[in-house]
Amino acid sequence: MNLAAMIEGHASAATALLYGDEVVTYGQLRERTASLRGRLAALGVGVGDRVAIVSGNDPSFAVAYLAILGAGAVAVPLNPASPPPELTRELTAVGAEVIVVGPGGLDAVGSIDRPSVGIRQVLAATAAGDGNDGAALVPRDTDDLAVLMFTAGTAGFPKAAKLTHGNLLANLDQIQRHPGRAIEARDVCLGVLPLFHIFGLNVVLGLAVHYGASVALVERFEPAATLALMGR
């Protein structure tokens, strides 16, 4: 098994992500994810390697997250609004050597002294794909590490909590079994919570794509614009 396989099997023409005027179908999401997975594999990224994601709430984040897991690596979502010293500390703490960056994270990554941190490659998580033929999903076990998620740091510096493929899948199953929380493929979820937070990552994005629903991604909450989006 591999958590990234949760986007497989949904109708190719069904809507996976909405972002502004952009619509990404499940077929496109699978294609773009496989393409980035192939780029990661070509860099030598494999089982257990830590790969950071520095991106806002846009399709690039979803592609990066699924590609990293699919390559057998460990995803490390980071807050793109964090100051360079904080990003440097977190990248060093997890031993990340590769960063996948979305449009919302370009400025943050550009301010990091990458050689001193040990970052050997920064990849752009282009939402449109790049023609790479991709790579096959790497099989993982339920006890294998999937995500390192930094805590809020209420008792000192934030620490990277370990979450396995089984942890995340169990959480999705728990939510779906709740009669007031279960979703269907026809549902549209509002992705306004930050994806570098576990609620936004798993309860919103993960739950929706696992069950074939759609996610309307919002870069930042602005009341009038968000209400207009919900109306559309």
Q: What is the pLDDT along the chain (232 residues), one digit of tens a residue?
A: 999 999 999 999 999 999 999 999 999 999 999 999 999 999 999 999 999 999 999 999 999 999 999 999 999 999 999 998 999 999 999 999 999 999 878 888 888 888 888 898 998 886 454 556 688 999 999 999 999 999 876 777 889 999 999 999 999 999 999 988 899 999 999 999 999 999 999 999 999 999 999 999 999 899 999 999 999 8
Global pTM reads: 0.94
Note whether 4 and 204 are within 8 A (CB): no
Query: Cα(225)–Cα(207) distance, rounded to whole angstroms?
Result: 24
Q: At 217, list the tokens.
A: 């991604």
